[in-house]
A and B are shown apart, each in its own frame.
Chain A
């Protein structure tokens, strides 16, 4: 139902909610206050990187199945 001022309860509550919602900037300030800035890399960073590089090399140098099939 619309009020004499032209705003129903849902509209007014919507405005109220928008003015009170946690702003992204405030959320980011909170997050930054909790999480330290200069965190170290994870302990497994070297083996993770090594694994990914090895996998990429293996993929890049593997002969395509169609080529293997043509040779046999």
Chain B
């Protein structure tokens, strides 16, 4: 492939437009942040190699193209079995090392403990719920955008999100009055 700085500029715009959504998707699928980043890289590497095809597409079709690649990569990754094992390890590790920014050691410890429980509970969600939760909270996407990306009706996305929130609330002893 002959590439130029123009191609790089087109790719950078594509990358910036979709990277958070793709990353949030993989985070939901594999739970392991490092593996999620690797899969983001692989997805966009394929987009780079097919830039003449995917670059000119309108936003919605571009997203559909990218998520088709992402879904296939996630399936391949699951087939190896490494993803699931890594996810469990990562969740245990992440839960103990993240987020320590509140005043007072007691409040800090309590918040850390709650976040650890949340992390664990998210890891135990059914995968389809975890994906929409991640794409909503980490990716900042609407149910319509998630539906377009995953090929699902927005109502299904909202239902899964609501189920996920209910399960998390129960795991954290919080009341959840529905999303």
Point out residues on A near B: beta carbons under 8 Å: 1, 3, 5-9, 12-17, 19-22, 26-27, 30-31, 33-36, 39-43
Contacts and interface: CB of A to CB of B under 8 A. Distances in A.
A7 to B, nearest CB: 6
B122 A3 contact: no
B36 to A, nearest CB: 8
Interface of B is mostly: helix
Given A9-B165, A13-B137, A31 B15 contact: yes
A17 B137 contact: yes
Given A21-B138, A27-B19, A9 B174 contact: yes
Contact of B48 (A20, A35, A43): A35
B23 interface: yes
Given A3-B173, A31-B12, A35-B12, A15 B115 contact: yes
Contacts of A43: 4
Nearest to A15: B99
Contact of B8 (A3, A15, A21, A35): A35
A42 B5 contact: yes
Contact of B137 (A16, A27, A36, A39): A16
Contact of B122 (A8, A16, A35): A16
Given A3-B173, A42-B6, 9 more contacts: A3-B114, A5-B110, A7-B111, A9-B176, A12-B114, A14-B137, A33-B41, A35-B8, A39-B5
Tell me which of A9, A14, A41 has the highest count of chain B C-beta atoms within 10 A of its own C-beta.
A9
